[in-house]
Amino acid sequence: MAVIGATQVLDDHLLYEWSAGPRKMGLASADEPRLVRAVREARTTSDTVVVFLHWGLELSSCPTSFQTSLAAGANVVVGSHAHVLVGAGKKRKALISYGLGNVVFHASRSEATESGVLEVTITGRQVDGYRWVPARISGGIPYPLSGSTRAEAASSWSQLRSCTDLRP
């Protein structure tokens, strides 16, 4: 299994200081040609390729055109940055989650307290299944939901797919 992380969101004043370069550790850019090349390279030694991206528009529960156009060739693409949940589902054979919201965060808006864990089952290059385990952040700590509140949150999460290019 290979895991590749990159960012599409980086403040201009931090770009040079935080970016990776020759002989310099730092953040990898989510520049599409470079990211696709990295996925193809990882694919030569790994059955499963997971890409984790810091991307999207803060507080938007729908993906941007950059997010929907990115075709990295990975088995799983998971994103964060919006501070709210964004839709998830299948695109061709890949599982895409445009945004997982926050995990540990002191949120000032109620929608930023919606959280959870995405559980994915993979065999080789095949995504066998996935499920959303919803939680709510209180005092900066995520607490798993149960009962009807959990079912309601899971249903709401599924509805986020409506503004994406994904299928269940």
The C-alpha atoms of residue 161 and residue 154 are separated, in whole angstroms, by 12
Question: To which residue do tokens 């989650």 refer?
Answer: 97
Looking at residue 138, its pLDDT comes to 93
Report how far residue 81's alpha carbon sits from residue 149's, in angstroms, rounded to the nearest whole number. Answer: 25
Q: What is the pLDDT of residues 7-19, one digit of tens each?
A: 988 777 777 788 8
pLDDT at 70 over 80: no
Whether residue 168 is contained in a domain is answered as no
pLDDT at 33: 87
- Split into its structural domains, the chain has a count of 1
Q: Would you say residue 66 lies in a domain?
A: yes
pTM: 0.89
Domain housing 147:
2-163
Average pLDDT, stretch 84-100? Answer: 95
Could you tell me which residues come within 8 angstroms of residue 97 by beta carbon, excluding any fewer than 6 positions away? 76, 77, 78, 79, 86, 88, 118
Q: Of 33, 25, 82, which is closest to residue 53 (Cα–Cα)?
A: 82
Q: How many CA atoms lie within 13 A of 119 on its CB side?
A: 5
Which of the listed ranges 14-18, 26-30, 118-122 does the model predict with the highest average pLDDT?
A: 118-122
What does the mean pLDDT of the chain come to? 92
Q: pLDDT at position 142, please?
A: 94
